[in-house]
Amino acid sequence: MKKLAVIISSILLSGAATAADSYNSISHVGYSDTDGNDTASVDSKYYFSPKSTLGPYDQFEYINKQTNVYGSYADDDFGDTTAVGGEYFVKDFVVGAEYTNSDYGTNNEAYKISAGYFFNPDLLMKATLVENKDGEDFALFDLAYNHKLNSTDYIGFTVTSDDDFDYRAVNAKYFMDLKQGNYLTVEGTISDTDDFGSSWELGSNYYFTKATSAFVTFDKEDNYSFGAQHYFNRNVGLKAGYGNNWDDSGSDAYFANVSLQF
pLDDT score, position 6: 37
Whole-number pLDDT of residue 219 = 97
Residue 135 lies in a domain: yes
Q: Is residue 177 part of a domain?
A: yes
- Residues 202 and 188: their CA atoms lie apart, in Å, by 4
Q: What is the CATH number of the domain that holds 209?
A: 2.40.160.10
Q: How far apart are CA 137 and CA 92, in angstroms?
A: 28
Per-residue confidence (pLDDT) for residue 2, from 0 to 100 = 41
Residue type, 208: F
Residue 107 domain flag = yes
Give the C-alpha separation, 212 to 103, whole Å: 37
In a domain, 3, yes or no: no
Half-sphere exposure of 115 (CA within 13 A, CB side): 1
pLDDT in tens, the chain (262 residues): 444 343 334 433 334 434 689 999 999 999 999 887 899 999 999 999 999 999 999 999 999 999 999 999 999 999 999 999 999 999 999 999 999 999 987 888 999 999 999 999 999 999 999 999 888 899 999 999 999 999 899 999 999 999 999 999 999 999 999 999 999 999 999 999 998 899 999 999 999 999 999 999 999 999 999 999 999 999 999 999 999 999 887 789 999 999 999 9
pLDDT number for residue 19: 60
User: Please, which residues have CB within 8 angstroms of residue 167's CB and are 6 or more apart in sequence?
Assistant: 160, 161, 191, 192, 193, 194
Asked if residue 14 belongs to a domain, the reply is no
- Alpha-carbon distance of 186 to 175, in angstroms, equals 7
- List the beta strands (DSSP E) in 35-181: 37-52, 68-75, 80-90, 93-103, 107-120, 123-132, 138-148, 154-162, 167-179
- The answer to whether residue 9 sits within a structural domain is no
pTM attached to this predicted model: 0.88
The answer to whether position 4 is within a domain reads: no
160 within some domain: yes
Domain, as residue range, for 174: 22-261
Q: How many domains does the chain have?
A: 1
